[in-house]
Each structure stands twice: as C-alpha cells, then as structure tokens.
Amino acid sequence: MTPHREGLAGLRVLVAEDEVLILMEIEEMLRELGCEIVGPAATVEAAVGAVRGHHLDGALLDLNLHGESVLPAAEELASRSVPFLLVTGYPSRAGDAQALKDAPRLRKPFSLQSLTDAMTAAFVAGDRRLADDRRRTGGKGGASPASV
C-alpha cells in the first residue's frame, strides 16, 4: 500500500450518490483504499441523517441527489468540522452557496489515483492543518472543512 493509501485506511467515509453504477465504482475504490463506507445515501435527507447519526472522518457528496442540492448535507458536515469532497460533473458556479463554492471538487469520471489524491488532500492533510491550527489557538477554532 502506498503512503497516501495507508493514510486513508480505516477512515469512515459517507458516500452520497444517487447513480447506482457510479456508487458501486466509488464503493469499490474506497474498499481498495481500506476505508469504511458509511451509507450510501441516495437522497439529501438520508445524507443529513447519516451525518447526524455517525462519526465520520470525511464524505464524498454528489452535488445533485435526485434533483436536489446536497447543500443541507454539506452545511451539516461543515457545522461538525467534517471535511468533504464534492464528487460531481458540475463546475463551480457563481450562484453556488459558499459551502459548495469553497469545497474541493473531484470531477467525474475519476481514477483511483485521483480519488486517493483528493481524499488525502481533503481528509488527511486537512486533519493535520486542523490539529496544527487548534494547537496555535489553544484548542479554539480551526480550519473550515470547505477550505481544506
């Protein structure tokens, strides 16, 4: 296992995706990385419920679940300081809410290496930045998950 993949092993990752074939591919990649899959959630309501009901290390969110914006789930994750990636074919738009506009994106389709790199940057490197920031501020504050 490469160093990047080792850093992802054991992470509990929510997958919010409504396309079954894409979901199956993402789950296969996460299993290869050694992640524990939470969900999947095919609706925004299910995604928000999963965020509220599970300890998560990160989340992969499709921007649009059955025609509904994933914004409520993204905001719930941000309020809990859980990093997330938007896994989508949509580019960032000027009208996007700030939580979505600032979130790192992984464009569909993607490879295992692209997923590994994006998750490492958002979930693992983000954890180090958050811990460093908490040390500097005496445990108060931290980086926004959307900014990692």
* 3-class SS of residue 56: coil
Cα separation, 11 vs 142, whole angstroms: 20
Q: In the structure, what pLDDT confidence band is assigned to residue 126 with cuts at 50, 70 and 90?
A: low
Q: Which is the CATH superfamily of the domain at 3-139?
A: Response regulator (3.40.50.2300)
Give dist(CA 104, CA 141) in Å, integer.
20
Q: What are the tens digits of pLDDT across the range 31-66?
A: 999 999 999 999 999 999 999 999 999 999 999 999
- pLDDT band at residue 114, thresholds of 50, 70 and 90? very high
Looking at residue 139, its pLDDT comes to 41
Mean pLDDT (whole number) for 114-130: 80
pTM for the structure as a whole = 0.82
Average pLDDT over residues 123-147: 47
Arithmetic mean of pLDDT over the chain: 84
85 neighbors 110 (Cβ within 8 angstroms): no
pLDDT at 132 over 60: no
- Where exactly are the structural domains of the chain? 3-139
Provide the pLDDT for residue 135.
39
Least confident of 68-72, 112-116, 117-121, 127-131: 127-131
Query: Cα–Cα distance between 72 and 45 in angstroms, integer?
Result: 8
